[in-house]
Amino acid sequence: MSARMTIDLVNGIGGDPAVLIGFQNHGQNLLFDAGSLEALGVKELLKIRTVCISHTHVDHFIGFDRMIRVNIPHFRTLEVIGPIGIANQIRSKLLAYTWNLLEPKQMTYRIHEVLGDGRVVTQVLSSDDQFSLGNPVTTQPLNNTKGAILPLQQTDFIVSATILDHGTPVCGYSITLPDFFTVSINAVATLGLAPGPWIGELQKMAVGDNISGFVELPNGEMRDAKELAKAILTRSHGQKITYLTDIVFSKENLARVVSQFSGSDTLICETNFRHEHRDRAANKKHLTTKQAAMIAVSLGCVHLKIFHVSNIYANDHQASVDEAADFFSTLSGLPPDHLRSEIEAEFVRL
C-alpha cells in the first residue's frame, strides 16, 4: 500500500469503530466514525479536521464528545459528515453542556448531511449563536448519480459518499488522493536548468491536466511547458480508500457501492460475522467475511482490511481476519462471470 495514506484501527479489530486516516506530507488527519477515542492522544486528535460518521448507533458516535472537548481552545473549524439528522444530533451533544465562558468564534462545526439522492446539505454550527441551525446550503449530486462529493474546505483529498441500508441510513465513504507528479532532479540537472518556482508551476499544470504555454526559468528564459514536463515529471498513481460499515448484503447496497466506489485500491470493511453465521449477519443487517471479500473484489481492490468483528469471536479475532483474507484471495482469482454467479448464489442463500 502506498504510504501517502495510512490506516489505523484505533480500537483494533473488535473494538468500537474508529479508523484514523493519516496523510503523508499533510498536517491533517481524517477520522471514520467516532467510537471510543480514549486510545488517541490530544496531539493526534487535534490533527483530525474531518470526521466522517457512518451512522449514529452508539458504538460509532459515543467518542464524538472527546472531539468536542479537545477542540475547545483552538478556534478552528471541524468538518463533520454523516447521514440525515447528523446536524441535529451534534447540536444535541453540544447543547448538553454549559458554554458561558467562550470567546467569539471559539467553536465552529461545518456539518454536511448526505441525503439518499446524493444531495449534501451543509450547515454551520457556531458557539456565537448557541449552535443554532440555519442557512442550509445544498450541493447537487455528482452527474445525477446518487453519489455525493463533499464540499470540504482546505483539503487536497476528495471525500465522496453514498447512502446505504442498515435498517437506518448509513453513509459509505471513499477518500481519493489525485494522481501526483514527482520531479526528477537528475533530469533537471542534465538539462542544465536551475531549480525554481517553475517546477511547482509545471506540477500544478500537470495535476490540473492542463500543461500548455511557457514557464519562466530563473534566468528569465521562457521554455515550452509541455517539453519540460515530459522531460522532468513522472506521473504516480493516486490512491482511493473506501470505508464501509454496518450495511446489509443486498443487491441495492452492492449496486450503489459499485457505482460510487469502483476503482478503489483498499476497502476497509466491517465483517461482524463469519461466513458460517451469515443468517445472523442478515438479521442484524451486517456483513460476513465472504460478503466483505465479494464487495472488495467487485470494487477492484488490491487490499481488504477488516474491522468491527463481533464480540462473539472475542477469543479469536484472527480467525475472522484469516477467513476474510482466504475469501478475498480465492474470489480475486475468479473470472468476472464466475464472481457474478458466486455473488448471485450468496443473495439466493440469504
**Chain residues in the site for Zn ion (CB under 5 A):** 57, 246
Distance CA 65, CA 145 (A): 34
CB of 6 to Zn ion, least distance (A): 23
**Is 171 or 233 the residue whose CB approaches Zn ion more closely?**
171
Longest dimension (CA), the chain: 71
Neighbours of 259 (CB within 10 A): 12
CB of 347 to Zn ion, least distance (A): 21
Give residues with Cβ within 8 angstroms of 241, minimum separation 6: 5, 7, 21, 174, 175, 264, 265, 266, 267, 268
**Is 171 or 343 the residue whose CB approaches Zn ion more closely?**
171
CB of 181 to Zn ion, least distance (A): 40
CB of 307 to Zn ion, least distance (A): 10
**Is 26 or 57 the residue whose CB approaches Zn ion more closely?**
57
User: How far does Cα 154 stand from its chain's mean position?
Assistant: 16
Q: Show the cell assigned to 89.
A: 444530533
**Is 233 or 281 the residue whose CB approaches Zn ion more closely?**
281
CB of 245 to Zn ion, least distance (A): 6
CB of 30 to Zn ion, least distance (A): 19
CB of 337 to Zn ion, least distance (A): 34
> What DSSP letter does each residue of 218-242 carry, written as one string?
TTS-EEEHHHHHHHHEEEE--EEEE
> What DSSP letter does each residue of 9-51 carry, written as one string?
ETTTTTSS--EEEEETT-S-EEEE--S--TTS-HHHHHHEEEE
Q: Taking Cα atoms as reference points, which of 298, 296, 290 lies closest to residue 346? A: 290
**Is 35 or 118 the residue whose CB approaches Zn ion more closely?**
35
**Is 160 or 245 the residue whose CB approaches Zn ion more closely?**
245
**Is 57 or 317 the residue whose CB approaches Zn ion more closely?**
57
Cα-based distances in Å from 180 to 94, 195, 235: 39, 19, 6
CB of 57 to Zn ion, least distance (A): 4
> What DSSP letter does each residue of 118-149 carry, written as one string?
S-EEEEEEEGGGTT-----EEEPPGGGSS-EE
Q: Show the cell assigned to 67.
A: 472531539
Q: Are 11 and 31 in contact (CB under 8 A)?
A: no
**Is 270 or 323 the residue whose CB approaches Zn ion more closely?**
270
CB of 97 to Zn ion, least distance (A): 26
**Is 175 or 287 the residue whose CB approaches Zn ion more closely?**
287
Distance CA 172, CA 263 (A): 15
Cα-based distances in Å from 144 to 141, 149, 237, 255, 260: 6, 12, 27, 16, 12
Distance CA 328, CA 340 (A): 14
